[in-house]
C-alpha cells in the first residue's frame, strides 16, 4: 500500500478511548497488547512487555506506535496482520511467538470480535479518525 504524500487532517483524539488488552506469552516474556475497540476512535494499539526496559520492550512500543499511525492513515487491520503474521526472532517457537506475531494475533482476535477484519474489510474507515499515539499519552 502506497501512502499519499499529502498531509491528512486528522481530528483530535478523544479524552477517553475504549480498548481491550490481551496477554500473550512471547519468546521475550509476557506481552500486553492493547487495541482500541472504540467505534469513534478505533486506531490505537499499544504494546508493553512484562520485562522492564531493554531492546525488545523498545521494539514492541515502537512497532505499536507505527501500527497506530498506519491505521490512522487508512491501512486496513487485515493488511497489518498479514505483514506481521509469521515474523520470527531467534527465541521464538511454535509455542512462544515473536513480539510482531503476538501483535498480529491480538489485532486479529480483537478485530474479529469487533467485525473489523471480516472479509478483509476494515469498518474503521467509516468512523472519524484521530491523532493520538502512545507518545501523546506519555507511553
Which residue has better confidence, 132 or 43? 43
Classify 42 as helix, strand or coil.
coil
Q: In this predicted structure, what is the pLDDT of residue 124?
A: 40
Task: Give the residue among 48, 4, 44 at the shortest CA–CA distance from 127.
Answer: 44
Instruction: Tell me if 139 is assigned to some domain.
Output: no
The pLDDT value recorded for residue 80 is 94
In a domain, 48, yes or no: yes
Looking at residue 40, its pLDDT comes to 75
Each residue's pLDDT tens digit, 44-90: 899 999 876 788 899 999 999 999 999 888 899 999 999 999 999 99
Give me the number of domains the chain comprises. Answer: 1
Return mean pLDDT, the chain: 78
Residue 11 placed within a domain: no
pTM, 2 dp: 0.72
- Residue 132 pLDDT greater than 90, yes or no: no
Tell me whether residue 113 is in a domain: yes
Residue 100 domain-assigned (yes or no): yes
Between 4 and 20, the higher pLDDT residue: 20
Structural domain harbouring 119 = 19-126
Does 134 fall in a domain?
no
Q: How far apart are CA 22 and CA 11, in angstroms?
A: 27
Beta bridge partners of 29: 26
Q: Is 51 a member of any domain?
A: yes
Amino acid at each position: 500500500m502506497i501512502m499519499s504524500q499529502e498531509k491528512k487532517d486528522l481530528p483530535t483524539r478523544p479524552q477517553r478511548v475504549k480498548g481491550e488488552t490481551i496477554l500473550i506469552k512471547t519468546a521475550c516474556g509476557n506481552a500486553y497488547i492493547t487495541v482500541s475497540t472504540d467505534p469513534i476512535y478505533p486506531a490505537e494499539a499499544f504494546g508493553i512487555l512484562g520485562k522492564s526496559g531493554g531492546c525488545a520492550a523498545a521494539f514492541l512500543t515502537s512497532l505499536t506506535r507505527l501500527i497506530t499511525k498506519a491505521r490512522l492513515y487508512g491501512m486496513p487491520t487485515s493488511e497489518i496482520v498479514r505483514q506481521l503474521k509469521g515474523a520470527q526472532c531467534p527465541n521464538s517457537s511454535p509455542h512462544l511467538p515473536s513480539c510482531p506475531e503476538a501483535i498480529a494475533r491480538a489485532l486479529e482476535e480483537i478485530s474479529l470480535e469487533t467485525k473489523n477484519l471480516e472479509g478483509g474489510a476494515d469498518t474503521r474507515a467509516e468512523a472519524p479518525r484521530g491523532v493520538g499515539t502512545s507518545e501523546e499519552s506519555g507511553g
